[in-house]
Amino acid sequence: MNTGAARLVVADPAVVTVALGSRTYHIHVGRGLLAQAGELCATVLKQRRVFIVTDSKVAPLYLGALSANFAAAGIRADHIVVPAGETSKDFAHLQQVLDAMLSAKCERGTMIVALGGGVVGDLAGFAAAVLLRGVEFIQIPTTLLAQVDSSVGGKTGINTPAGKNLVGAFHQPRLVLADTAVLDTLPRRELVAGYAEVAKYGLLGDPGFWSWLEANGAPALSGGDSAHAALRHCIVTSCAAKARIVAADEKENGARALLNLGHTFGHALEAEMGYGGDLLHGEAVAAGIVLAFELSARLGLCPSQDVARVRAHFTAVGLPVAPPRRGPRGAITPAMLIQHMTQDKKMKDGTLTFVLARGIGKAFLTDEVPRAQLEAVLTAALTG
């Protein structure tokens, strides 16, 4: 029996709670946690059946072990593998996933399991939200981005030609299992991109965490044994921050919108670049955060030293500090990006809401951004 050995490899598991009344759930963070998945998931299953959604890069790495672990716990596990990458977050793949679930005769008590990054989590979560008018799901995030952000908080959905995440549902998971060991196989570019969402929590409301990141962020991303504790701290602190915000404002009527720091710009950049892998979500968010701080400084709201600190730290960890200047349609212009921004979910009565900052750790929402200032910041970033 290897159950005992599996327990031994789980070092310092931490549990963060998302307090949502009867829908409260726990985020487990630990190294080697995947080997306990059957046991941990069994605590929330209604029937000993799950349906796993994963992608073509994650499946060869972790699907076999996870399925075997479920089997050892007496849990039947069916699965579907979608192509890796953002392009799977669309109607066609949603339909494939739903068809596979229905072909496997999933019932209302069958638990959907999202094994993968934010793409799989958003797609599987949305499928769970609409299958049989809603079934429960578990997140097993395998990227840093998914472990610190997308697996927590219940935002699920897909992209459409009009923009990112414009079709979806709030549907909270029953459980989140973040095994930090799976990050060992994540390509470095993906790891660094996910770090943009870690940095976001410091920048939006926790200057102490930001200072800690300035000292420890680069070592945390360096890999190897010494990095594990720092990376774990990044993940637990980020999940705790997100859990607090989601518990206070689940449906984004107020404070939760602060989590979109950098995203209005970032989503516009992603839409313009075409979701093909030239610009990863976290990279777009990083460039977007810098633009949000630059806009804040231009409006006289944020000290320029804070903008410099953001740029310096992002550069130190290998994140972009400027948007790409060319995309599939040629040179990217401010007008192109502003056109994408008008599809933003934070539009109110035709006016864009921005997340800006009065300094590091002091993000706030505003709809008072003169178009000329926005254009000036974008022009400087795209041509300066």
Kindly list the catalytic residues: 133, 155, 197, 242, 252, 256, 260, 263, 267, 281
Strands 25-31 and 11-18 come out as: antiparallel
Stretch that binds ligand NAD, among 91-99, 144-152, 349-357, 372-380 (CB under 6 A): 144-152
Residue 216 burial (CB count, 10 A): 16
Residue 79 contacts ligand NAD per CB under 6 A: no
With 0-12 / 13-18 / 19 or more C-beta atoms within 10 angstroms meaning exposed / middle / buried, residue 346 is middle
**Number of other CB atoms surrounding residue 372 within 10 Å:** 7
Residue 103 to residue 83: CA distance in whole angstroms: 19
What residue has token string 């990050």?
183
- Which residues on neighbouring strands pair with residue 356, listed in sequence order? 364
Which residue ranges make up the site for ligand GLY (CB under 6 A)? Answer: 149, 153, 155, 256, 259-260
Contact call for residue 117 and ligand NAD (CB under 6 A): yes
**Dihedral angle of Cα 368, 365, 359, 206, to the nearest 10 degrees:** 180
Task: Write b or e for each residue in 101-124: b if 16 or more Cβ atoms lie within 10 A of its Cβ, otherwise e.
Answer: beeeebeeebbbbbbbbbbbbbbb
Identify which range of 92-100, 185-193, 249-257, 371-379 contacts ligand NAD by CB under 6 A. 185-193
Q: Which of residues 278-317 bind ligand NAD (CB under 6 A)?
A: 281-282
Q: Does 122 bind ligand NAD (CB under 6 A)?
A: yes
Residue 384, classed as helix, strand or coil, is: coil
185 binds ligand NAD (CB under 6 A): yes
Q: Whose Cβ is closer to ligand NAD: residue 125's or residue 359's? A: 125
- Selection from ligand GLY, ligand NAD, none that 266 binds (CB < 5 to 8 A by kind) is none
Dihedral sign from CA coordinates of 115, 118, 119, 121: positive
Measured from the CB atom, is 100 or 236 closer to ligand GLY?
236
Binds 256: which of ligand NAD, ligand GLY, none (CB < 5-8 Å by kind): ligand GLY
Q: How far is the CB of 4 from ligand NAD (least distance, A)?
A: 25
Residues that bind ligand NAD (CB under 6 A): 55, 57-58, 61, 84-86, 89, 116-120, 122, 142-143, 145-146, 149-150, 153, 155, 164-165, 182, 185-186, 190, 194, 281-282
